Structure 1
């Protein structure tokens, strides 16, 4: 079997959703491969020998032009420098500058930045705080390989969510250790208990941020505490975690082979090393499975 097309990040979804002990949503994670923006069932199974080959062709996922190098996960240099989706505020939402009149794309701001966002706690390699648009749950957690997640606040804009993330980040990490993530499951934590402690500790600062953003009458930048949300738990299709992490790089080695031992986040875990599929968005790949 061989497939060929332009690679995009895998689509992760949930199946067999259930509530355990009336306190936790628990579900298995399943993946679909994306080639040429078409969602297809994985062309391989756990335990199968697979091969990925980069043809050398890279295409911008925004304008479609051929590019010698990929920037910001699948863009040509021109789009990287001009598209709002490639601006620094995407990585650091607290630096959103729409209110200063310097946003690259007004439509993008209305479609993305001024949509409801969730501030959440998750457990990937360890406890972390993060933000995502409400429509990106649970995709954001699954892309990060989280085994637990809990929405804690719903807010009216990306910049507002970023301010809260920075605040909570003084007590909770906002990054995932990808190497630790791929070595096994993180030790479980009590997300509800941690949420309650954080909200109580930061109550005065949360009110200050709420009051500051309430002055913006153009957008409904409110803060809602999600005290009734239940934690989520996710089970990834992994047979064997690697003892040592070796990362494949298609730019240096265009053809990689190995037995598929698991999938977590956007990583394929092979017996020869791991590969981050999202990193190769825009690359033309040939996918083979025995």
Structure 2
């Protein structure tokens, strides 16, 4: 059975374990059902997630011209502290920016390879944690807009990491942390304008991923170079497919590639 479609971030369900779905235009693939099966991925062409043209992908699933033009790829996406919609100030498209920025946002701690601080829209909890491969997470602050979340994250970066080591995360070489204690320790460093939004009483969320076998030395698959790859799927964590031979494939970083997926 062969499916063809453009890669986009896998959809997820917060179940025990997490359920993953690869969504193509005409197919909806339950990836958990492919565990322990041999699958082949083959590169077909590019398809920009904005203009749909067969143009090389630059970043985030977009071709270069779209990346530097559309609001979905503006700097404030990756750096929330640059958000300006709360000031009624446009970056690329004020209507879009207000829709995304002027809604409740969460500053959180997640443990995927180490404890890190991050920002997400409230509506994206726990999806964001799943996508990062975090096995535990906790909300610290809930604020009414993206800007406040961004400046809080910047303040906390001086005291806790904001990066994930993807190899450590995929090897599951992780240590359980007391995130409630971390939350309380970091309270003192929350900026004045966000202090009233601190979440006093909550517990951490635990996440369990569908992995039969973790890689010992994960090596990343570059489908643009190899054009095709066949392997036995042994797990899914974050947005990575994990194969029996320690090859891993990041769906998120390959958005915009049209592939054939064959179940052998």
Q: Contact 1:125/1:186 (CA < 8 Å) preserved in 2?
A: yes
Measured in 2, the distance between the counterparts of 1:13 and 1:183 equals: 22
1:64 maps to which of 52, 56, 76: 52
The answer to whether 1:137 aligns with 2:125 is: yes
Q: Contact 1:120/1:150 (CA < 8 Å) preserved in 2?
A: yes
* Equivalent in the alignment of 2:72: 85
Measured in 1, the distance between the counterparts of 2:216 and 2:97 equals: 43
The answer to whether 1:281 aligns with 2:244 is: no
Measured in 2, the distance between the counterparts of 1:43 and 1:153 equals: 33
Measured in 2, the distance between the counterparts of 1:187 and 1:85 equals: 35
* Equivalent in the alignment of 1:10: 10
How many residue pairs are counted as aligned between the two chains?
262
CA 1:37–1:7 in 2, change beyond 3 Å: closer, same or farther? farther
- Deviation (angstroms), 1:102: 4.4
3-state DSSP of counterpart to 1:179: helix
Alignment RMSD: 1.8
Measured in 1, the distance between the counterparts of 2:17 and 2:77 equals: 29
Question: Which aligned runs of 4 or more in structure 1 are off by greater than 6 angstroms?
Answer: none
* Equivalent in the alignment of 1:249: 222
Q: Contact 1:44/1:289 (CA < 8 Å) preserved in 2?
A: no
- Deviation (angstroms), 1:277: 0.9
Measured in 1, the distance between the counterparts of 2:48 and 2:183 equals: 40
The answer to whether 1:206 aligns with 2:180 is: no
Structure exhibiting the larger radius of gyration computed from Cα positions = 1
Q: Contact 1:8/1:37 (CA < 8 Å) preserved in 2?
A: no
Structure 1 gaps of 5+ residues are 16-26, 212-222
- Deviation (angstroms), 1:43: 7.8
Deviation string 1:143-201 (CA, Å, 9 cap, x unpaired) is 000000101110011111010001111111011011111111521001111111111x2
TM-score normalised to the size of structure 1? 0.85
Q: Contact 2:49/2:61 (CA < 8 Å) preserved in 1?
A: yes
Q: Contact 1:44/1:50 (CA < 8 Å) preserved in 2?
A: no
1:151 maps to which of 130, 139, 148: 139
3-state DSSP of counterpart to 1:167: helix
